[in-house]
C-alpha cells in the first residue's frame, strides 16, 4: 500500500486562506505516495490524529517563523509571520519527531523542523550574517539551479544523492543558525549558510533549504532521488 503523506499548507497574513503549490503534491504522487493536504487547525486532538494516521510529513515553504518560538525578539528585517500556522506546525512536527516518523522539511519546512527540535534561525541572513553572502533569492525561475551546496560525506543526504557537491535553486532570506545537539549539518552553501540538516536520532528526518519539488520540472535526478528516498522511508 502506498504511504499517506501529510503536506503542510501556507497561509496569507489575514489567515483566511490555506494554499499549497501543486509541485509539492505532484512530487509526492510521482514518488509513489498519497498526498494529504493538512489545514492549520488549532486543535490538539486533530494534531495528534494527523500524526498517528500519516506515514510521513512534508513541511513546505512559506512566510517567516515568529522568532518568539526560538526565544528572540523580532528583527527589523523579519517578514510576514502567521501565528496560526506556526502553532499548528510546531505541534505536528514535535509529535512526528516523538513518533520517529519520516519528515522532509523544505525551505520554511526545514526551518520549522529546526525550531521544533530546539534550534534557532537567522531572521534575515543579510542583516545578521557576519561574512559576505551569495544571492539566496535567485533571479531565474525556480526550476533552474542557482548555487552549489557541499554535502557531508557521512550524512544521510550523501547516501541519497551520492555526490559531495550539488547545484540547487534558492529562494529565502531566513536560514538555520544553530542546530540542536540531536541534529547535524549535512549541507552548506559555499558562503557558509546551512542548506541541509538531519536528525542523528531518527530513521529519516531531513531538512533542505532549497526547493527540490520545483526542480523536478527539469527532470533533476538529485531531486527525484530525494523524494523517492523519503517515500521509501515512509513505507517502513
- Residues classed as catalytic: 107, 211, 213
Q: CA dist 161 to 86, 122, 147, 152, Å?
A: 30, 27, 16, 11
Evaluate whether 205 touches 198 at the Cβ level (below 8 Å): yes
Do 106 and 213 meet the contact criterion of CB atoms below 8 Å apart?
A: yes
Give the contacts of 99 (CB within 8 A, at least 6 positions apart).
51, 52
For residue 219, give the C-alpha cell.
527532470
Q: What residues pair up with 64 in beta bridges, in sequence order?
A: 81
Amino acid at each position: 500500500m502506498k504511504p499517506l503523506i501529510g503536506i503542510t499548507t501556507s497561509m496569507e497574513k489575514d489567515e483566511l486562506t490555506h494554499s499549497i503549490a501543486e509541485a509539492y503534491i505532484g512530487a509526492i504522487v510521482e514518488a509513489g505516495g498519497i498526498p494529504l493536504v493538512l489545514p492549520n487547525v488549532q486543535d490538539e486532538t486533530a494534531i495528534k490524529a494527523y500524526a498517528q494516521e500519516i506515514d510521513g510529513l512534508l513541511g513546505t515553504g512559506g512566510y517567516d517563523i515568529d522568532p518568539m518560538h526560538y526565544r528572540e525578539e523580532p528583527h527589523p528585517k523579519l517578514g510576514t509571520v502567521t501565528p496560526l500556522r506556526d502553532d499548528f506546525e510546531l505541534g505536528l512536527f514535535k509529535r512526528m519527531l516523538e513518533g520517529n516518523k519520516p519528515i522532509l522539511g523544505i525551505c520554511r519546512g526545514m526551518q520549522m523542523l529546526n525550531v521544533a527540535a530546539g534550534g534557532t534561525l537567522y531572521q534575515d541572513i543579510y542583516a545578521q550574517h557576519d561574512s559576505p553572502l551569495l544571492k539566496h533569492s535567485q533571479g531565474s525561475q525556480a526550476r533552474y539551479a542557482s548555487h552549489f551546496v557541499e554535502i557531508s560525506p557521512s550524512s544521510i543526504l550523501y547516501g541519497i544523492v551520492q555526490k559531495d557537491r550539488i547545484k540547487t535553486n534558492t529562494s529565502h532570506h531566513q536560514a538555520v543558525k544553530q542546530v540542536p545537539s540531536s541534529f547535524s549539518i549535512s549541507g552548506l552553501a559555499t558562503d557558509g549558510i546551512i542548506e541541509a540538516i538531519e536528525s542523528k536520532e531518527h530513521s529519516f528526518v531531513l531538512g533542505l533549504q532549497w526547493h527540490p519539488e520545483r526542480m523536478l520540472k527539469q527532470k533533476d535526478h538529485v531531486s527525484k532521488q530525494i523524494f523517492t528516498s523519503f517515500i521509501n522511508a515512509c513505507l517502513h
